[in-house]
Structure 1
């Protein structure tokens, strides 16, 4: 990363989106601090350890459904079978169940299959008589039995560090007996928006003033179970106030996110101020629309991300680059943003040169299931209402000038 934020940094050629993302991820080193939590409190957090199964999962052969356990060798030949029922075994039973040769056992889902029994016949396939069952479908050995270790063998990896503990992961950890797990410390994130024109929603507006939409959009984007969030609020375009706020945020947070002030205008103070307080940063011009200006840097133990001030630009830049940097900083394993195949619903013309993320609405789907997209407004970087009305953004190739109806597109769904 270049030292300072002077004119050389601002004069860089346009970076492609993958190049900018790669640089951002390289700067976003994980915080590397962990804590041990009970599993119930670890849900929604970032796993900080590789977890292996302590035992076979499941730990014993068990019935996959309600029915009757039997020995297939007892059936002999023929196409109709009748067996006495010599007992019952339910889930949680620990005693050894025995039955004489030629007899079946009533068995319920999840119950251990007694030794020697090698198949379960579904109860729906049996006619129940007085103490006996009759059926005409010959079971195969192993039928409707979940074998010990078929899910996972003892010592095999269940989950690797860096994954988010969601419902599926919590279930797997519980099944493997993890009552306590190591998770990464919550990422301390501070954020604020810059601009003299910003007012809190609901306050009276003076000439040239707007309500601060970025503050609440960022709050929703940043508020995660693995984040400890600090909302600093709006800060006027006063260099002394901005520097004081930015310095305090760097001293107390792992990540600072701001909107506005990162371009080359007279009131775009953030690059110069960050350099003046000893930060090392990069101001990038990214070949993406919206969101061309993007700044990130390091000061001490803090990572700083400066987003554009226009709401749509800020949102798209965050989704495409910033969110992955925050996830990496928190210790989450990187996963590319999934793009869905889609088609254009009409002809469109655009100015080529930058990869475009155009707000789009799904009209319907093609016979093969791809969404047909209506591209919204060609000028939209400040149109937050348009963003709210979109279902996602269509990704338009940098060199494409004309998009024909039915053309293949990629779609990032919100």
Structure 2
């Protein structure tokens, strides 16, 4: 009966995802992959990493990552286009399956989860725009969920991810905050090494990036557009006073630190991954919608929570609401400031992010399991032997 329900759930998920993709998906033309390849090739030909511009629909965009990222992305620049496109998509899909398997440990739930994830706007945009978000999420997830408990090099993957794209650096603070000092030291040192490699192989580009370009957030895009689902974007769209954004950043950091510290102390690094991923999206000066793949672990925890009673039902209801927002690209329907409900609709992903930060359950995978007393402590062993 369980097998039938699992297969039925997979079939329904596939059909539902196909309908959702047909209704809401937009092909992005691998735009960011074009930027990666063009900028790296420009650098290799001596024309500069940050001088290259790829023309979009409204404006042109250039390379916004540290020079070390160019070294990592070099294979995608030199390989044939179709090979690079397929490799990046395969890496994104493989990373999704790896993280789902670590959490669910069963084939049909993993396949169902992958189908449902692929229907969300952040996942499908990451793949169709040719982004590396899912690869970085997988690296951080593997470090926290697997390497951290087994290897003295724990933290190295987080450091590399932070060297490619600065936002994962918050996970270094997570390691320190949760008293995994060795892993935090490894992660921080690795991040510094990546910066050093950038200076070694691209000294002029490194000087330009770290002293000038890093602080130009307008290079990423117009901070007020609905595609920027960060606190900064929400504050600018609402025309709030200048001091509001720093105050909100402090509040989010305090809430994140309190909840992340609890998650790491237990330890529940799945919750730590989810909470820090949500915080990254909120705190970053610019959070494109495809960056919200960092929120998917929080959604998975809500759906897979072992909490009992009403809490479990509330978690699943919240997951359904957040999933609906992630699938329908709701924020783009309120992109015009003259639209009724603009103040709420254009910031919907920011609102759900704040809710997730406060509600993601910590350690519910074990909280509902009763602790055996001395009199019946041997019962589980006896039952397993009888099987």
Q: TM-score, normalised by structure 2?
A: 0.26
Query: Which structure has the bigger radius of gyration?
Result: 1
- Would you tell me which structure has more helix in proportion to its own residues? 2
Q: TM-score, normalised by structure 1?
A: 0.25
For CA contacts below 8 A with separation 6 or more, give which structure has more relative contact order: 1
- Would you tell me which structure has more strand in proportion to its own residues? 1
